[in-house]
Every structure is written in structure tokens, then in C-alpha cells.
């Protein structure tokens, strides 16, 4: 189990999970109903199953590429810890469990589940033919607040869409930063990414522009939240400001020719930002 958790980088669930929980509790507040804890459990399970399937499929599909990259050669499949066949079986089991769990939630989530799988599994192919791979990853994580809102509320609404747009810009931007590590390797092996297409310096500029777009979308979401959800107050405003502050901070850590702090920028800063935003707004709504 420890090896499979490492295979899918289970700790990285922290990026999207707070936004999924935020979408869930926004719907609960909007409907003014008691928290359906069984649906809450199903939402958590869907997050786990979907992410397990996506990450394991990415590792399965990239096993030969990872085996050639000094940075990734220690990953479970190229290192021989988990066989490709076992990893693919793990993908199939999690994909089936994801669809089955959406069926327990409501018909709309069930009907849309293949679309979600298409996006999150299809991402793994994109680096082979387009620099837009970062945006497909962002879209996959952006489904979290929308899906959770649909699970609890059964319909679409503006606020989860704005948070989804924020996630799209946020994730695309920091994935471009992360891809700087493999710029030379990707170029040599004819893989697509923004750093390969634009170079490191311009890639960072695009990442900054995307995070500015995230700031606009996040500020718009904050405005809708404060004007349409009476319980939301100063705590939600502070949470938004902290998130945007940490977004700016990560750009002070990474330079085109100095990637030594990229893990601090990518994992720590973004994880803390997501948890603070989600937990503070949910607390504001409920208490």
C-alpha cells in the first residue's frame, strides 16, 4: 500500500481537495440543508479514486520516459517496484470505483463521470503533441469544485465556476514552473511543454500572467461570495488575500537559472495556500 500511495503521490491530493470541499459546502449553504454526510463521504471517495486513476495512468504511460530521465528514474515503475501490468490494473479498479461512486451520488454526476475520466486520463497523452498539456492538467483539477457542488446541489452555479476558473489558471501556472526542471530533457526527447516552446524566462512570464488571471478570477469569486452568501465575511476576504499573497511569493522563489527552491514553490507554498483558502472560507460559512 505504501508503494501505491507513493506511485500516485497521494499527499498531492491536498492541491484540489480543499476546492472540492469548498464546492460541497457552498452548495450545502445555498440549499440551507443539513450536511448529508454520506454524500460528503462519496465526494471524498470520488476525489481519491479519480486522482489515483489519473496519477497511476500517467506513471504507466510515461514509464519509458521516466526511465530515461535522471529526475524520475527512481519512480516505482521504472525502478521495478511496481510492474506496469499492476499499475494498469490499479488504474482500472480506481476508474470503475469512481464511476460506481458517482452513481451513488446522483444521476447528473454519474452521466458526467466519463467526461471527467476523459479529461484526467487524457492529460497523460498531451505532452506528446502539445504545449497545452499544462492547461489540460489545470482543467482536470478545476473539475473538483464543480463536481463537488453538483454532488451536493445537483445543479450548476456561478461561484463554483469562478473557483474552477481560478484553479485552472493557478494549476496551469505552477505546472509550467514545475516543468522548468525538465526543459532540456523534454527538448531532447521531443516532448511538448511551455518551457520547451518559449524557453525558461518566457515560460515564467506566462506563468506570472496565468497567476494574474487566477487573482482576477479569485477576486471575482470573493466578490460573489461576499455579496450572495450572508455568512461569508472578513475571514473569507482574508483567506483570499493570503492565497493570492502566497501565489505572488512562489514567483520570488524561482528564477530561470535557479530552480533550487522549486519544490518549496510547487509543493509547500501551493499546498498551504489551498488548505488555508478552503478551510477558512468553509469555517466562515458554517460558523
pLDDT of residue 98: 98
Tell me what pLDDT residue 166 has: 97
In the chain, the N- to C-terminal Cα span, in Å, equals 37
Mean pLDDT of the chain: 92
In the three-class reduction of DSSP (H, G, I as helix; E, B as strand; rest coil), residue 156 is classed as coil
The H or E element containing residue 5 is helix 2-7
Domains of the chain: total: 1
Query: What confidence tens digit (pLDDT) does each residue in 152-180 have?
Result: 988 889 999 999 999 999 999 999 999 99
- The torsion of the CA quartet 84, 85, 91, 94, rounded to 10 degrees, works out to -140
Which residues span the domain enclosing 10? Answer: 2-286
Q: How confident is the model at residue 260 (pLDDT cuts 50, 70, 90)?
A: confident
199: domain CATH number is: 1.10.357.140
pLDDT at 195: 96
Looking at per-residue pLDDT, the higher value among 269 and 109 belongs to 109
- Read off the pLDDT of residues 72-111 as tens digits, 9 standing for 90 and up: 999 999 999 999 999 999 999 999 999 999 999 999 999 9
Question: What is Dmax (Cα atoms) for the chain?
Answer: 56
Above 80 in pLDDT, residue 9?
A: no
Amino acid at each position: 500500500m505504501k508503494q501505491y500511495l507513493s506511485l500516485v503521490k497521494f499527499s498531492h491530493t491536498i492541491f484540489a481537495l480543499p476546492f472540492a470541499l469548498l464546492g460541497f459546502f457552498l452548495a450545502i449553504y445555498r440549499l440551507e440543508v443539513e450536511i448529508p454526510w454520506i454524500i460528503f463521504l462519496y465526494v471524498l471517495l470520488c476525489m481519491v479514486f479519480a486522482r489515483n486513476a489519473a496519477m497511476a495512468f500517467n506513471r504507466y504511460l510515461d514509464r519509458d520516459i521516466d526511465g530515461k530521465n535522471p529526475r524520475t528514474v527512481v519512480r516505482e515503475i521504472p525502478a521495478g517496484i511496481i510492474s506496469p501490468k499492476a499499475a494498469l490494473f490499479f488504474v482500472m479498479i480506481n476508474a470503475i470505483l469512481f464511476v460506481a461512486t458517482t452513481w451513488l451520488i446522483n444521476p447528473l454526476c454519474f452521466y458526467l463521470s466519463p467526461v471527467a475520466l476523459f479529461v484526467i486520463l487524457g492529460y497523460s497523452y498531451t505532452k506528446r503533441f502539445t504545449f497545452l498539456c499544462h492547461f489540460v492538467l489545470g482543467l482536470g483539477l478545476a473539475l473538483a469544485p464543480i463536481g463537488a457542488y453538483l454532488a451536493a446541489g445537483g445543479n450548476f452555479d456561478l461561484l463554483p465556476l469562478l473557483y474552477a476558473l481560478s484553479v485552472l489558471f493557478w494549476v496551469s501556472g505552477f505546472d509550467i514552473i514545475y516543468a522548468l526542471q525538465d526543459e532540456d530533457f523534454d527538448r531532447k526527447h521531443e516532448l511538448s511543454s511551455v518551457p520547451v516552446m518559449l524557453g525558461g524566462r518566457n515560460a515564467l512570464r506566462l506563468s506570472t500572467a496565468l497567476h494574474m488571471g487566477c487573482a482576477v478570477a479569485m477576486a471575482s469569486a470573493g466578490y460573489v461570495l461576499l455579496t450572495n452568501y450572508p455568512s461569508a465575511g472578513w475571514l473569507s476576504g482574508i483567506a483570499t488575500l493570503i492565497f493570492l499573497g502566497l501565489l505572488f511569493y512562489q514567483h520570488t522563489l524561482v528564477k530561470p537559472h535557479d530552480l533550487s527552491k522549486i519544490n518549496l514553490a510547487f509543493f509547500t507554498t501551493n499546498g498551504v495556500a489551498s488548505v488555508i483558502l478552503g478551510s477558512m472560507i468553509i469555517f466562515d460559512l458554517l460558523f
